[in-house]
Amino acid sequence: MSADEVIPLARPVIGDRERELVDEVLRSRQLSLGPMVTRFEEMWAERIGTRHAVACSSGTAGLHCCLHALGIGPGDEVITSSFSFVASANVILYTGATPVFAEVDPLTFNMTPEAVEAAITPRTRAILIVDIFGYPAEIPALVDIAHRHGLALVEDACQSIDGDYDGRNLGTFGHPAVYGFYANKQLTTAEGGVVLTDDPDLYRRLKSLTNQGRSDDGAWLVHSRLGFNYRLSDVHAAIGVAQLERLEWMQDARARIAGLYQDRMASVEGVTPMYEGPQRRSWFVYAPRLDTDLDRDLIIGRLEADGVSAKPYLPCIHLQPYYREDRGHRPGELPVTEAISASTVALPFFCEMTEEQVDRVCDAVDRAIRAERAGVPGAVGVGRA
């Protein structure tokens, strides 16, 4: 099967407007610390309704800077979710603090407020909220817990770009929220991120931290604090500005594709479609659950042999090799998280996906499940990661 017949997991939308703005930056010869980054930040702040937005080189960089700016360090504990991309916990380790993993809800896949409160110890300094797969966590309850226990809050909204809780935009709940713009996200800058905040002091610290600790007055080569090289270039920001200009269309397109998937997958035996609850999901991936009697890796192998890209998504952070070998985590610590992680599979999902491609993916999933249950030999190991 030729490569052009394979349906990819993700495909960014890049058009003439992105090329026009990138060319504008290239012709200006101001490739970094220029007006395009400021334009990108101002567009985000206006869209979300925050006073400030700080562009950075990745969502990971934004999360790290937030924890650093809040004074999290060695001896501290930060509660977060193990059902997330590994960066959610890695940024805690960057500060010298310890990630403490709280159990998640079997429907939303987000940390439950009860589990978060149960994980609090005298060493807990912060909660790092994760809005996984674009579905918002229980923000008001977690804000209440943080206030009652005197804890800082940082929100990893990297998979929930432009998301909200009860119609209130993520980033407007009194704590910093971070978006990530990797190439598979709802909006991309290739690599990049942004921190949203209303706190002017935090804004100044973040602007400094992302730029090598540059002094708050911007004095040339004067560094008032230890910082990082976490700048977003104007070239990347140009892509982001173009993407922001049509984000509504891209979000609508992803919701349309998700709706097609939800309808089709409801009739595929052995698959549980993605949860649709009271909150609006900002559609990032399409990752339904397979029944526990199915071998997910074999299903993925069959899909890939059929020209459909698929991946096990997401592995538990606490069971990643580093966290097991260096941190001593073991299977069985988080049974709900581990069960979800063992059964979710990411399928092709992108704005320009056609209805015919969705049908082809769903038909391939149905065939793969039927073949496995019938004991038909398959492409063993193709899907292993």
pLDDT digits (tens, 9 = 90+) for 335-382: 999 999 999 999 999 999 999 999 999 999 999 999 999 988 876 544
Confidence tier at 384 by pLDDT (50, 70, 90): very low
378 belongs to a structural domain? no
Domain boundary at 225, 245, 265, which? 245
Transcribe 85-116 into DSSP letters.
Answer: -THHHHHHHHTT-EEEEE-B-TTT-SBPHHHH
Number of domains composing the chain: 2
Confidence tier at 383 by pLDDT (50, 70, 90): very low
3-state secondary structure of 309: coil
For residue 254, what is the domain's CATH number? Answer: 3.90.1150.10
Closest CA to 58 of 198, 185, 241: 185
What CA–CA distance (Å, rounded) separates 352 from 29? 33
384 belongs to a structural domain? no
| One domain for residues 231 and 270 | no
**Percent above pLDDT 70 for the chain:** 97
Task: Please check the confidence at residue 4 and state whether its pLDDT lies above 50.
Answer: yes
| One domain for residues 144 and 238 | yes
Least confident of 2-11, 123-132, 169-178, 300-309: 2-11
| One domain for residues 254 and 236 | no
**Percent above pLDDT 90 for the chain:** 94
83 belongs to a structural domain? yes
What CA–CA distance (Å, rounded) separates 85 from 77? 19
Span 265-279, average pLDDT: 97
The CA radius of gyration of the chain, in Å to the nearest whole number, is 21
Q: What is the pLDDT of residue 3?
A: 45
List beta partners, residue 190: 182
List beta partners, residue 128: 154
Average pLDDT, the chain: 96
382 belongs to a structural domain? no
What CA–CA distance (Å, rounded) separates 359 from 368? 14
Span 6-27, average pLDDT: 97
Domain boundary at 245, 279, 314, which? 245
| One domain for residues 119 and 163 | yes
Asked if 38 contacts 232 with a C-beta cutoff of 8 angstroms, the reply is no
| One domain for residues 260 and 148 | no
3-state secondary structure of 300: helix
Residues designated catalytic: 185
| One domain for residues 172 and 265 | no
268 belongs to a structural domain? yes
Rounding to the nearest 10 degrees, give the CA dihedral for residues 112, 114, 115, 117.
Answer: 120
36 belongs to a structural domain? yes
Task: Please check the confidence at residue 88 and state whether its pLDDT lies above 70.
Answer: yes
| One domain for residues 62 and 80 | yes
Least confident of 132-146, 150-164, 211-225: 211-225
Confidence tier at 36 by pLDDT (50, 70, 90): very high
Q: What is the pLDDT of residue 6?
A: 96
Span 61-79, average pLDDT: 98
334 belongs to a structural domain? yes
> CA-based angle 93:97:99, to the nearest 5?
70
Task: Please check the confidence at residue 45 and state whether its pLDDT lies above 90.
Answer: yes
3-state secondary structure of 130: strand
Q: What is the pLDDT of residue 379?
A: 61
Distance set, CA 212 to CA 57, 199, 222, 376 (Å):
13, 21, 10, 58
| One domain for residues 321 and 238 | no
Q: What is the pLDDT of residue 216?
A: 85
CA atoms within 13 A on the CB side of 350: 16
| One domain for residues 176 and 275 | no
| One domain for residues 261 and 299 | yes
| One domain for residues 31 and 132 | yes
For residue 166, what is the domain's CATH number? Answer: 3.40.640.10
Segment 200-256, tens digit of pLDDT:
999 999 999 999 999 988 788 899 999 999 999 999 999 999 999 999 999 999 999
Cis peptide before 93 (omega within 30 of 0): no
Whole-structure pTM value: 0.95
Give CA 112 to chain center in angstroms. 18
| One domain for residues 76 and 218 | yes
Domain limits for position 161: 16-245
Transcribe 202-232 into DSSP letters.
Answer: HHHHHHHHTBTTB-TT--TT-B-S---B-PP
Domain boundary at 222, 245, 268, which? 245
What's the count of helices (H) and strands (E) in the chain, helices before strands? 13, 13
Q: What single-letter amino acid sits at 80?
A: T
